Amino acid sequence: MYPLLFRAVLSRFDPEFAHHAGMAVIRVLGVPPFSWATRALCAPASGHQVSALGLTFDSPFGVAAGFDKNAVGVRGLAALGFGHVEIGTVTAIPQDGNPKPRLFRLVPDRAVINRMGFNNAGADAAAKRLAKLRRRRPKTVIGVNIGKSRVVDVENATADYVDSATKLAPLADYLAVNVSSPNTPGLRGLQAVETLAPLLRAVKDAAGSTPLLVKIAPDLPDEEIAAIGRLAVAEGLDGIIAHNTTIGRDGLKTDASVVDAAGAGGLSGAPLRERSMEVLRVVREAVPSDFCVISVGGVETASDVDERLDAGATLVQGYTAFLYRGPFWARQINRELRRR
């Protein structure tokens, strides 16, 4: 039913408008009595719990950062069956992001190009929403992804990240440092080990006892990915998220003129599947077996989730396939995992 709805109706709307419309529905699904019915229909099976980061995840499959930037849809996403929700990316200073249009579908590839630019209401607003969620005791793990404010120079990035971490870590189940988005000028340069080490050290101090992870880019050479893995272990981090969107455009089925018209930005979705598996294997080999590795990129089916878990992922995240699979995506994956 949903594929027909997508082809006939949703694909005709601007992607960002469609996303906000979908989020409005998800927010409704998080409010009783709708949440009770949704959870009864979509709740993960009890046998698929995962213990990681000192937490219990009801399902190994969760929502990647970028889908719910401002922590407005957490309860609805939890009701739909996701084992965790990573909100953000949140910046210390509120920002509108890049000019529109900034989100583009590549339907033949089941992919998306985005150059959103960390549009969000800022750390203070996110902290207020998270505090409210905590009082309601949400039935899901909430991660918070933090990034650099656009108006802050790269040289002052550490203080900016620390500001966000100080405000958000006490309200997060885990904190993720995003140094890998291609849509904030200079951000990916922070992945250099000599730059990343002091940044992570400072954020870890600010995060206190909250588990801390770092999110990396797939476009780095394998040796640099492995070096970041070893650095994360040496600095006492709790995990790595592998990975963010790619600036690559190789092997796409979508007409080249459509891809060119979309312009710059990060590519996500099915075309990342192969590289995502490669990055996962590189990271897994570089870190201890009990180190948390969250795999994201090109995940669409329960088979994809199984493949990541078999390759050493602790948890798996998705985002782009939500556009193509619809609101019962997590339910489909959880039920297939249970059958397997």
Which residues form the catalytic set?
Answer: 181
How many beta carbons lie within 10 A of that of residue 45, not counting itself? 14
Quickly tell me which residue has 């000599």 as its tokens: 194
Q: What is the DSSP letter of 99?
A: P
Q: Please count the CA atoms within 13 angstroms of the CA of 286 that sit on its side-chain side.
A: 23
What is the phi/psi pair of residue 78, to 5°? -65, -40
| C-alpha to C-alpha distance for 33 and 151, rounded to whole angstroms | 42
Q: Which residues pair with 52 in a beta bridge?
A: 55
Q: What is the DSSP letter of 95?
A: B
Task: Pull the structure tokens for residue 197.
Answer: 């080490």
Task: Note whether 174 and 238 are within 8 A (CB).
Answer: yes
The H-assigned helical ranges of the chain are 2-8, 15-29, 34-42, 74-79, 123-135, 157-168, 193-207, 222-234, 256-262, 273-286, 302-310, 321-325, 329-339
Task: Note whether 98 and 114 are within 8 A (CB).
Answer: no
Q: What sign results for the dihedral spanned by CA atoms 297, 299, 304, 305?
A: positive
Task: Note whether 79 and 138 are within 8 A (CB).
Answer: no
Task: Pull the structure tokens for residue 54.
Answer: 């000192």
Residue of 261, 88, 66 lying closest to 164 (CA atoms): 88
Task: Note whether 218 and 243 are within 8 A (CB).
Answer: yes
Residue 253 CB contacts under 8 Å (≥ 6 apart), including other chains: 106, 108, 109
| C-alpha to C-alpha distance for 121 and 230, rounded to whole angstroms | 34
